[in-house]
Amino acid sequence: MNKKREWKPILTIILVVYCLAYVAPTFVNAPEGWKQLSYGLDLQGGLELRYTVDYKRAIGDNTWKVAGLFRDRLIAKKLDKLEDQDGITSEELETLRATVTLERVDHKQVLVTVGDDLKETLSDAGDSFIEDWVDRKFARGSATDNSMVLVLKYEESQRLKDEIVNQTMDIIRKRINAFGLVEPDVRRAGDADIDVQLPGVEKSKMSLVRAMIGQTAQLNFRLLELTGNPLTNIAADLDAYKKVNEGKAITIEVLNDAQRGGTYVQAQRKSELLRFFRFVDEQRASRSEGPLVDADHMFGYQSLTKMEGGKETVIGWRTHYILRNMRVNKGTGSERAVSISGDRITRAQVSYDEKGAPYASIDFDGQGAKDFGDLTTENVDQYLAIMLDDEVRSAPVIEEPITGGRARVTLGASSGPQAVQEAQALVTVLTTGAYKAPVHKVHDHSVGPSLGQASIDAGVLALLVGAVLVVLFVIFYYRVSGAVAILALSLNVLFVLTLLVSFNAALTLPGIAGIVLTIGMAVDANVIIFERIREELRAGKGVRAAVETGYGKAFWTIFDANITTALAGFILLNYTTGPIYGFAVTLLAGIASSMFTAIVVTRMVFNYLINNRKIETLSI
């Protein structure tokens, strides 16, 4: 044998031994922690969920904040205080703010309308002003003498959309991994959908997984608004709502809470409150009136519970009138807006009070601690709503300034395992991060293991039958050379399994079909080579020359055939989900390994037979 080529068979033997050792734990009882081949949802059952990310809501909220910033920068430009904005007094700011109105056009655009005092300033506020003093991601849209549309640039809206969806995918992975339940398969589907497959998750854990993924957990601290409650005259709207829904069980009541802002609305279900407020806004729009709640406020919804059988049970929901946009240092020249959210949290952990009741203890970063301290200092004896999304978890009185940068969040259950579980679940969500946009469930399916076992049996049977038929045909038709091809075929399957284990890819039922297809493709490559060698032998060439020519001239034909199939597989891998994705994984792994075994491994065997065995004729 040529000494320069001895390293090839040695490396191949080492590779084969390594692959055998690597996939062995899948088929023998291996210690816990060893990597094994994982099976897809269709083979062992589990949970499949799909969510859609409301990225437009997140982008729209950001656009609205930038519009507010644009309004303040416009006022500063009018007062010629862009370089010294802290010098603007609160009286000057509020006087000119009252002349500016903001109106949402869509999630990327806000219409800014100004009074006469700001017309000239607005007309001078071009793209350069917006980029230098507001936000480089925005530009000036259509405009009139007293209005202008602030527009988020197209490329930025696309970037933000992709960023929000990808961040949501990462957060879902982190939440599932934090519980150590399963190896999740999380991938993007379409424009803004996320497909989550959790093969092998126990039925008893499914509800926990659903709760963890579904909880958006955007934590915010907001003040209750005790004046200007828009629900004061809501009774007439409720009467109209009951007339429209006559015959239906309406549980909505208008009640009074003098301490927490006066009038509030209560119902058995939160969804009923949401439907009622939609009705009210539709009625107001038909009368050319503005929405019930302005942009600086919002409604929060708090569950009402009672103890039943040692457990707290939700019996209804009530509203709170919440101040959405808060400011501190009021009446001074340094007045500023504050927003205290989960983004400011540096640590979250489960702690216990003096009575042994669990709660979530959270620490703020430097800016969060300052904002929280200023807010609680200026609002002693006011009510602070602790909110997850639009739900008020509690609304305690601020008895004294909280300046240490630490707060506690108590949840629904006050004691027992349920309280510990709720506190731990909240800490997990806060630690792994809140979603950057609302996430809505599209579908939720659980797959039983009996279906998976039946699929495994059918898939394995198809694989065995296909493999046996190929082996019989190849050996019958190509004799000894066919046996060489079968050796390469066996190694091909071994390499495919190794790639699946190493890349942590799950084997699915379509994946088994991909392996069967790979077997056929691997044999096809050998058929091309063998037929070319036969032609060279018929032309009178010797065994060595026929083999050299056969492999040399067949290579590009095999490469062309495999590269086109690989391109199709790559497209399937990147733009599909579920069964088709599983098929693409094994198809690409099979193409890579079949090229190696058909061209490299079989040639090494023929070189060994020619150089070491000194064969004069080739059984082909």
Parallel/antiparallel/unpaired status of strands 253-257 and 219-224: unpaired
Q: Decide: 511 and 199 in contact? Cβ < 8 Å.
A: no
pLDDT bracket for residue 497 (50, 70, 90): confident
CA–CA dist 478, 43 (Å, integer)? 36
SS3 571: helix
Q: Decide: 423 and 360 in contact? Cβ < 8 Å.
A: yes
Residues 6+ apart with CB under 8 A from 14: none
Residues 6+ apart with CB under 8 A from 455: 42, 43, 509
Residue 195's alpha-carbon distances to 145, 173, 185, 581, in angstroms, are 48, 11, 8, 12
| Res 30: pLDDT | 63
| Res 215: pLDDT | 66
Q: Which domains does the chain have, with CATH numbers?
A: 3-42+448-611 (1.20.1640.10), 55-155 (no CATH), 215-414 (no CATH)
Residues making up the chain, counted from first to last: 620
SS3 351: strand
CA–CA dist 110, 162 (Å, integer)? 22
Average the pLDDT over 269-295 and give the result: 90
State the pTM of this model. Answer: 0.54
Give the lowest-confidence range in 2-16, 353-367, 418-432.
418-432
Q: Decide: 573 and 471 in contact? Cβ < 8 Å.
A: no
Burial 230-253 (b: 16+ CB within 10 A, else e): bbeebeebbeebeeeeeeeeeebe
SS3 314: strand
SS3 332: coil
Structure tokens at 271: 């969804």
414-427 pLDDT, tens digit per residue, is 556 666 766 666 66
Check pLDDT > 60 for residue 159: yes
Q: Decide: 16 and 491 in contact? Cβ < 8 Å.
A: yes
Q: Decide: 74 and 121 in contact? Cβ < 8 Å.
A: yes
Average the pLDDT over 232-248 and give the result: 89
The phi, psi pair for 112, rounded to 5°, reads: -105, 120
CA–CA dist 582, 601 (Å, integer)? 27
pLDDT bracket for residue 298 (50, 70, 90): very high
| Res 266: pLDDT | 94
Average the pLDDT over 299-317 and give the result: 81
Structure tokens at 615: 């064969």
Parallel/antiparallel/unpaired status of strands 109-113 and 219-224: unpaired
581-599 pLDDT, tens digit per residue, is 778 888 888 888 888 888 8
pLDDT bracket for residue 311 (50, 70, 90): low
What sign has the CA pseudo-torsion 343, 344, 350, 355?
Answer: negative
Check pLDDT > 70 for residue 12: yes
| Res 475: pLDDT | 87
84-142 pLDDT, tens digit per residue, is 666 667 677 778 888 888 998 988 999 999 888 888 888 888 888 888 888 888 999 99
331-347 pLDDT, tens digit per residue, is 666 778 888 887 777 77
- Bridge-partner residues for 361, per DSSP? 349, 408
pLDDT bracket for residue 546 (50, 70, 90): confident
| Res 417: pLDDT | 65
CA–CA dist 441, 51 (Å, integer)? 4
pLDDT bracket for residue 1 (50, 70, 90): very low
| Res 303: pLDDT | 86
Closest CA to 470 of 532, 515, 500: 515
> Around Cβ 378, how many Cβ atoms within 10 Å?
16
DSSP code per residue over 529-542: HHHHHHHHHHTT--
Check pLDDT > 90 for residue 516: no
CA–CA dist 194, 441 (Å, integer)? 10
Place of tokens 């033997």: 13
- The greatest distance separating any two alpha carbons of the chain, rounded to the nearest whole angstrom, comes to 106
Q: Which class for 191: exposed (0-12), middle (13-18), buried (19 or more C-beta within 10 A)?
A: exposed
| Res 578: pLDDT | 62
| Res 119: pLDDT | 87
* Mean pLDDT of the chain, nearest integer: 81
Check pLDDT > 70 for residue 466: yes
pLDDT bracket for residue 216 (50, 70, 90): low
Q: How far apart are the first and last CA of the chain?
A: 22
CA–CA dist 383, 495 (Å, integer)? 64
| Res 332: pLDDT | 66
Q: Could you say which DSSP state residue 506 is in?
A: P
